[in-house]
Amino acid sequence: MAPCLDARLKRVAMIMMVAAGAVAAPAGAANAGWSAYQRGDHAAARALYEAAARDGDRLAQYNLAMMQIRGEGGNADADTGVLWLRKAADAGMAQAQYNLGLLYESGVGVARSLAAATAWWEKAALQGHTDAQVQLATQYFLGRGAPKDWRLAARWYEAAAESGDVGAQYIIASFYEHGDGVEPDLKKALDWYVLAARQGDVGAAAQAKDIARRLLPDAPVRPR
């Protein structure tokens, strides 16, 4: 593998590791693979996951893909890892769909395609995957790999905000404040800024105070 591609693969693998955590715990055919992974026998886990993956277990397919892409239990193999990741994604696993979108965004193991990244993130977003919802919203917000559409951006930022994503809560609050992709609504903006502030977003706390003054200019502003 060329040094440049190897470095990019490692970078994306780290992103995927953060996004997915460790390989996921199974509840069926891949249980032996999970047990081996837990005790640190990655070579055995990889072999066991492969056996379960070939039997159509989508969680085993996903875990095998992650191990191959990260080089756990053997050499890193992006091409084969992507094949298994795609099988899990095609089988409807939201985390696999999200991670496949990351690969298309970065062009690691696949030809770079922002449109393909958008398509995979949409599949995961429709299943309630919060990170995919944020990524999809950003695609529409920027017009990157999708037509620029602030209405759809607002829809998906709000979905992620409802799942507790603090960044999405701040963004959708701003949308309601300024009428970007939604009807202006200072009350909704205040509600979202307050939720983000409660998660520690200092900027959201400042915006909440400002909007509270605008809604009730004569009322004292108390911490919420």
Check if the beta carbon of residue 103 is closer than 8 Å to that of residue 119: no
pTM to 2 decimals? Answer: 0.84
Cβ neighbours of residue 146 closer than 8 Å, sequence gap 6 or more: 114, 115, 118, 136, 139, 140, 152
Domains plus CATH for the chain? Answer: 1-112 (1.25.40.10), 128-224 (1.25.40.10)
pLDDT per residue, tens digit, the chain (224 aa), is: 444 444 444 445 544 543 444 456 555 556 888 889 999 999 999 999 999 999 999 999 999 999 999 999 999 888 999 999 999 999 999 999 999 999 999 998 899 999 999 999 999 999 999 999 999 999 999 999 999 999 999 999 999 999 999 999 999 999 999 999 999 999 999 999 999 999 999 999 999 999 999 998 755 555 54
Length of the chain: 224
